[in-house]
Amino acid sequence: MDIKISEIAELINGVVIGDKNITINNLARIQDAKKGELTFLYLSSYEKFLKTTQASAIITSEKFISKRKDITILKVKDPDKAFVKVIEKYFTPEFKFSGIDKTAFVDDKSQLGKNVTIGKNVVISAGCKIGDNSKILHNTVILENVIIGNETLIYPNVSVRENSIIGNRVIIHSGTVVGSDGFGFNPDEKGVYHKVPQIGNVVIEDDVELGSNVSIDRAAIGSTIIKKGVKIDNLVQIAHNVTIGENTVIASQTGISGSTKIGNNCILAGQVGIVGHIEIDDNVIIMAKSGIPKSIIKPGKYFGYPAKELSTALRLEAHIRNLPNYSDKIKNLEKELEFLKKELFKKNS
């Protein structure tokens, strides 16, 4: 597929510097791009690849000045967002199959909307409701009384447990489990643990995306809630009765313990650990590998274990790195003090 640069410029509202008549047939990273391919540049750390890239065209910021006259430049306000538009328009793969595959099982007591696609070996149990234009791909299991909204895409090997509610335009990637039992056990007088029944459900609101191998536990009572616009990376654990606020982003290997409430517009970086029964305020950013042992009631950036406001955490980290120097200085000061004591004793003797 050959696409004219002038057509792409019109799509992303870009200004073309260079040859407006060239065409591109693929997208690539700037360090890998070859002739006929389009790339983008918005981080200064990638400018080092400008000397060697073979890309035919680059989407860049309005302020960018190129020294390569052999590459066509498309200047836009937000290069990363413009690049996404190009992907969505020209390079997003379309599913080739439609309808219900003959190997799928759909219970007669389920309700399917219009234009629903169901792939191989999908199981949809009794009482499920699936909205229009939803796509449920191969080997997915959906248990009883699940409600799925319109235009939802569920990739292969997903399990959705009973009574879950999934909103519109939700994307769930392979290996994810929605509604597994919460981690609830009580010890008896002999220290033997007994399972506490988990009788709640999971509610996933509109425009949520769940990465692969995400585990979202059903509530013990009530609901575990993932609110509108949340984006969750691979390998994230969300325990029972957790609430994730709107438009919050959670990166890989983060774990959130039971009954914790995360606010709106938060960012949780990779490998963050959060204890149970606390609250995180809106607009909080938690840096990678941080541990949160208590509620955060003030917006801002936090880092470390236990997590502190970023500026404080960085100062403490600097002091920790300087501990060997501090130790040497203290030893030298102790020697000088001992010497002065001796001199003072001689003088007063």
Q: State the catalytic residues.
A: 240
| Single-letter residue type at 306 | P
CB-based burial label for 322 (10 Å; 0-12, 13-18, 19+): exposed
Tell me the β-bridge partners of 218: none
Structure tokens at 180: 């597994």
Q: How far apart are CA 294 and CA 198, in angstroms?
A: 25
Distance CA 342, CA 142 (A): 83
Give CA separation, 75 vs 16, 40, 54, 61, 105, in Å: 7, 10, 18, 5, 51
Q: Which helix (H) or strand (E) element contains residue 325? A: helix 323-348
Bridge partner list, 215: 177, 237
DSSP code string of 123-176: EE-TT-EE-TT-EE-TT-EE-TT-EE-TT-EE-TT-EE-TT-EE-TT-EE-TT-
The three-state secondary structure class of 311 is helix
Whether residue 261 contacts residue 239, with contact meaning beta carbons closer than 8 Å, is answered with no
CB 218, CB 204: distance < 8 Å:
no
Nearest to 57 by CA among 46, 48, 70: 70
Residue 265 identity (one-letter amino acid): N
